[in-house]
Amino acid sequence: MKSLLLALMLSLAAGGAAAQQGKKPDGKFKGQNMSRDERQRMREDMRNVYRERGGDRGRPDKGRQMSPEEREKLRRDIQDANRDLRR
């Protein structure tokens, strides 16, 4: 799976570099002829990769508020870390 991701990223990087080099006569960059389905499939592939890599590890869910206890613990942890940095 990692090799597939690496190959995808390298091909995207190479395609992006080629597209920056010049325009087609009609004003479009190379590589912009992707169909809507292809773009959607690529978005889903990238979401899956981020999900598999654990891209949001350790962070609370977006939109979910922290409980008062969680906020207090976070506040104390930050104060302790700041105190340790000053030493």
6-64 residue pLDDT tens: 677 777 776 655 555 555 555 555 556 778 899 999 999 998 888 888 765 555 556 67
Q: What are phi and psi of 23, to 5 degrees?
A: -100, 155
Half-sphere exposure of 17 (CA within 13 A, CB side): 5
Check pLDDT > 60 for residue 86.
yes
Chain-centroid distance, C-alpha 6: 15
- Predicted model pTM: 0.29
Instruction: Report the pLDDT value the prediction gives residue 51, as an integer from 0 to 100.
Output: 85
Angle at 13 between CA 3 and CA 39, to 5 degrees: 85
Instruction: Report the pLDDT value the prediction gives residue 20, as an integer from 0 to 100.
Output: 56
Long-range contacts of 40-43 (CB under 8 A, 24+ apart): none
